[in-house]
Amino acid sequence: MRYSVDPDIARAGTLDPAFYADDAAYAATRERVFARTWQWLGDLADVALPGSLSPRDLLPGLLAEPLLLARDMQGTLRCLSNVCTHRANILVAAPCRAEHVRCGYHSRRFDLAGRMTFMPDFAGVAGFPSAGDDLPQVPFAAWAGHGFAALDPAAPLSSFMAGIGERIAWLPVERLHHDPARDRDYTVAAHWALYVENYLEGFHIPYVHPGLGGVVDCGAYATELFRFASLQVALAAPGAPAFAPPAGTADHGARVAAYYVWIFPNLMLNFYPWGLSVNLVQPEGPGRTRVAFRSYVGDVALLDRGAGGALDRVEREDEAIVEAVQRGVRARLYRGGRFSPTREQGVHHFHRLLCEFLGSDP
């Protein structure tokens, strides 16, 4: 099935409901969307020193590609396959420091640039060693102290961050510190795209999140679109914690409760006065999604207040509505809906990007 969404939001209908139930569409999305976009690997604090090694999984549950961040003795950081090129053993199980990588299965050895340097009992093997015995290097980029990798990127990370990076450049992202005690993982019985759609509009806030609606100004809620990203700006209600954007920035003079940044297809960067909540959406099947919440704190005194306060309650409210939509979108009598031109620009933008990557739209 081919998917298409009209570029004119006033004329467009939402994505064909078949998308959310079609196993072939789910498989195509894995290869055409997720394998071609930049996936968040986490912060880079544990690979700051030469000789640092840190295993990472590229989008667990869908791509599930074992990767290894390796900083060599000259300070160069690379993203390598974490799979031995001999018999596919996982090479590094936990963050560590070392001068080389040695496979615990048959003792094949690699330097920190991924080159195979030693293998016992391989004398007489024709054409050995070859470039295929080195660890494959994966496209890697960093932004504000966070790492990203892509198997076959459609564009550089800078293109995915274009506009967004400049818009929030004044936020002190690199000075925020990971607080593992605040990390949470949630499982949602719904298609991953429905979860993203819900995130991309503030339309539902007064109806689904009465608590959040009391600390943000829903009437002033605004969405800005970029090539591969979008930004939702929520202004603070009187008395609620807020950013004070500096002079020369787009929001100078406004009391901003939160900046909600989305990077196509599945990364959410939620900036609150207390810090940053990173939400990574991890598809686990057409009807199951895991969402990883990771917290980076700057001001502990503002935790649990304002728009970034009751995050667990807001998440549970979102889960309930998205799971209800999961049931409804598969109903035989549902044919698809229309977009609010003033409230659902982000959802329309997301649907258009999905169609583009799936090869349906020009």
User: Does the residue 187 lie in any domain?
Assistant: yes
CATH number at residue 72: 2.102.10.10
Tokens (6 digits) for 323:
């799971």
| Pairwise CA distance, residues 128 & 111, whole Å | 17
Give the tens place of pLDDT for each residue, 300-359: 999 989 888 889 999 999 999 999 999 999 999 999 999 999 999 999 999 999 999 998
User: Does the residue 9 lie in any domain?
Assistant: no
Q: Which residues of 209-233 are buried (b: 16+ CB within 10 A; e: fewer)?
A: beebbebbbbeebebeebebbbbbb
346 and 199 in a common domain = yes
Q: pTM for the full model?
A: 0.95
User: Does the residue 6 lie in any domain?
Assistant: no
User: Does the residue 44 lie in any domain?
Assistant: yes
22 and 50 in a common domain = no
Sign (positive or negative) of CA dihedral 145, 345, 198, 220: positive
Which pLDDT score, from 0 to 100, does residue 213 have? 85
Asked whether 174 and 146 are in contact (CB, 8 A), the reply is no
Which pLDDT score, from 0 to 100, does residue 4 have? 94
| Pairwise CA distance, residues 90 & 16, whole Å | 40
Give the tens place of pLDDT for each residue, 220-263: 899 999 999 999 999 998 988 999 999 999 999 999 999 999 99
